[in-house]
Structure formats: C-alpha cells, structure tokens
Structure 1
Amino acid sequence: MLLKIITLATCLTWNKGPEPTPKAIPAKGLLRHVVVVTFKTNTSMDLIRKVDISFKNLSKLSMVKSYEWGIVKDDKNPSKVKHVYVTTFKSQKEEDAYGKSPEHQKHIKLGAENIESVEAIDYFLP
C-alpha cells in the first residue's frame, strides 16, 4: 500500500508556473484591497455592525468595482472578532482616490477606539 502511495505521489506534479519576481508582478490591472479588522474583545455588536455598514456604503463609490466581506473563523482564538473587507478597483489611481475621498476619511474614524488592529494588503490580479 505504501508503495502505491509513493508511486502515485511521484506521478502527480503541480505545475505552478514560474516563480514570481518583482519584474513578473503586475503593476496595473484590477487591484484587490483586503482589510482585516480585529475588534477589541468588549466591542458591542452594534458598533461592529456600524463599521460593517460603513464599509458597505463605501462600496457605492464610483471607483469601487466590487466588494465583499466576511467574518474570520479563528478556532485558535474564538474570543477575537475579525472581519475581512475586500474591495476591487480598476487601478492604483482609483484606489488612491478612494483612500482620499471624504467618505473614506470619515469612515476610518468610526469606532477607532474599539479596534485592536487593522491589517491591509493590496495585490494586482494577474
């Protein structure tokens, strides 16, 4: 049986393509902006809902191409409440305009005292 597993494993290969290099990473095209907000343990559900609604309202801005969000399931630390917000833009220029918009500037102040941490990552779709 072990021989069959080893044989099967050696026959299966993963074609992952070339390794990404700084020159291979696109700097244009659709841009995803992912934000992970960790709320402090005693944050009320009402305030968390207000932050969720505020993110959703930002998705109505003209430069936003798509939006989705969800709640992180963290089995290692279930007391942490983390929400993930994903916004897609047509370009870096549009994301920059989004960040400078009055709506976004107002949004980032909402519930700031109840947010433990914010992590953000941007990436271009290949």
Structure 2
Amino acid sequence: MLIKIIAIAGCLTWTKGPEPTSKAIPSKGLLRHVVVVTFKTNTSIDLIRKVDISFKNLSKLSMVKGYEWGIVKDDKNTKKVKHVYVTTFEGQKEEDAYGKSPEHQKHIKLGAENIESVESVDYFLP
C-alpha cells in the first residue's frame, strides 16, 4: 500500500502560484468600502429603514463614486437581519474625507443602540 501511495505521489505535479508581494496588492485606484450591519433581533423595521436611507443619503456626497446595498440571504440564521452597504471612492483620500464628514459622523450614531455588530472591509480594484 505504501508503495502505491509513493508511486501516485511521484506522478503528481505540484504548481505554486506567485507569492503575494506589496507590488501585487493594489494601493491606489478605485476603492470599495463594504459595511455589513447586523441589527439586533428586536429592531423595528422603521429604524432599519432609517439606517438604509441614511446610507443612501451619504452616497450623494461628492466624494462617493458609486453605491449599492442589499440584504444578506442567510438560510442558516433567519433571525439575524444583516444589510450590506458598498460605497466606491476614487481613492484613499476620498474615503478618508467621507469618514470625517459631518454627515458621516451623524450617520454612525443613528440606531447605534439597535445594532448588534458592524463589520467593514476596504479593497482596491485591481
């Protein structure tokens, strides 16, 4: 049996992709900012709508180049309400300005007591 395993392993060809380097990871260009908000189970539909509208209103700021949102489809945990908001910026400078804007500062306080968690990730488009 061991001889068969060694013979099969000898026939396999292993290929290794390029190692990630700082050059391979974009650090400029269009930047996507993805936010996933999980609302507490007792959060009213009205408050969730207010948060949705607030995100949409932020998309009208001049530094925002694109915006979309949706509701997470989670068949495993139907009691959790999660909304995803995706904002596109020209680059890091514009995202920084967005985060510091008075509109965004007001927005992040909206419904805070009814939000279970907020996760975010940023990535540059290659």
Task: Give the alignment's TM-score, normalised by structure 2.
Answer: 0.84
Please give the alpha-carbon distance, in whole angstroms, between the structure 2 residues aligned to 1:75 and 1:100: 36
Please give the alpha-carbon distance, in whole angstroms, between the structure 2 residues aligned to 1:57 and 1:66: 12
Q: Which residue does 1:65 correspond to in 2?
A: 65
SS at match of 1:119: strand
**1:97-119: CA deviation from partner (whole Å, max 9, x where unpaired):** 00000000000000000000000
The residue identity in structure 2 corresponding to 1:76 is K
Task: Flag the 1:81–1:18 CA change in 2: closer, same or farther, 3 A.
Answer: same
Pair 1:24 & 2:24 matched:
yes
> CA offset at residue 18 of structure 1?
4.1
Unaligned segments of structure 1, at least 5 residues: 1-16
Q: Which residue does 1:35 correspond to in 2?
A: 35
Alignment of 1:1-126 (within 5 A): 18=18, 20-126=20-126
**1:68-117: CA deviation from partner (whole Å, max 9, x where unpaired):** 00000111100000000000000100000000000000000000000000
> CA offset at residue 21 of structure 1?
3.0
Highest Rg: 1 or 2? 2
RMSD over aligned Cα atoms: 1.1
SS at match of 2:82: strand
Aligned length: 110
Please give the alpha-carbon distance, in whole angstroms, between the structure 2 residues aligned to 1:69 and 1:21: 32
SS at match of 2:41: coil
Moved over 6 A (4+): none
Please give the alpha-carbon distance, in whole angstroms, between the structure 2 residues aligned to 1:20 and 1:114: 40
Paired-residue identity, %: 91
Q: Which residue does 1:9 correspond to in 2?
A: none
**1:25-57: CA deviation from partner (whole Å, max 9, x where unpaired):** 010000000000000000000000000000000
